[in-house]
Amino acid sequence: MTIVVCTDHGTPLPHRDLLTSEVTAVAELCTNPSGFSDADITDLEALILHDGEYDLGFIQGAIRGFGVDPLGIPIVTLNDTATTEQLTVLAAGVVARHRAFRGARPEHAKMQWPTLMSRRRLFALGVPQYIGAPSIDPTLCTAEHGCRLCVEACPVSALESVSGNVAYNVDTCVACGICITTCPTGATVNPTATEEQIAAQIQAMIATSEHPVGIEFRCRDANPAPLEDGWYPLEVPCTGMLTIGWLLAPLVLGAGAVAAPSCGTTGCSIGNDDILATHLSDASSMLGELGVSARHVLDEGQGAVPEPLRDVDSPSV
């Protein structure tokens, strides 16, 4: 089991003795995914790469060369040079997320074309990349009994009620995840962002860090930001999918604080900011009713991370 780190820009390696995986360094991996072939890698679990240096389509092609589903391999994208401690905590989290991945089916892979960002990426325009998309389990869906929650919540009208069923248009879908957290029966699932994966990642990061951990939920398409002391990013399809329960879950699991930047501040094009703002406000209000300071729920992961909450019951949401 292996974590692979692109060591360009002087990136240090995580502490191996604090991880349950091997750590392999590969120079120039971001710009040359063929470097995989020269490395001693078994059972690839996660990657640590650099923002603006790699093309996801090429990386996913190299991952498939290991006989592994690329949708199940988390990628940590660094904006700057992280410390050894930060990389260790991040690595522990994404490995736990990988191990909680239950597998995906062909319908969960949504193809998209990369956006031209530089001259070097010109040659990548012909290489498709894939993101995780939802599917609907008809055995769990209650549309025949009148449920329309996912249809009404979808911001791009990718879902439609047809003859007692929910029709799904994968081409229209932006894979934002709102239908997943709206569905009351668990019929809608994106296997790349399940509750089990999120909880496993949070718990692993908290267990690995010697200091209070702040969890910053970030949109899949957000521009990576420098790591603030004590704050760690956790990728979701879009922060607009975060319910009050999802926002408060890190605190219940032992994090000192949780943050969820809006699409507008991170460069995500999906734009579910109004939904997120409402849920952040409601989560803060709920903490206030429990006598807990609002500094534990923020709209941006900055500042000192407070100590974890003690003896606060999980809210009913």
Write out the chain's pLDDT in tens, 317 residues.
799 999 888 889 999 999 999 999 999 999 888 888 778 787 899 999 998 888 899 899 999 988 899 999 999 999 888 999 999 999 999 999 999 999 999 999 999 876 655 445 555 556 789 999 999 999 999 999 999 999 999 999 999 999 889 999 999 999 999 999 999 999 999 999 999 999 999 999 999 999 999 999 999 999 988 889 999 999 999 999 999 999 999 999 999 999 999 999 999 999 999 999 999 999 999 999 989 988 999 999 989 999 999 765 554 44
The pLDDT value given to residue 169: 95
The pLDDT value given to residue 316: 45
DSSP-assigned letter for residue 275: H
Total length of the chain: 317
Among 280, 226, 68, 200, CA closest to 59? 68
The pLDDT value given to residue 185: 96
The rounded distance, in Å, linking the Cα atoms of 16 and 73 is 19
The CA-CA-CA angle for residues 22, 28, 31, to 5°, reads: 120
The rounded distance, in Å, linking the Cα atoms of 224 and 250 is 21
Contact status, residue 219 vs residue 268, Cβ threshold 8 Å: yes
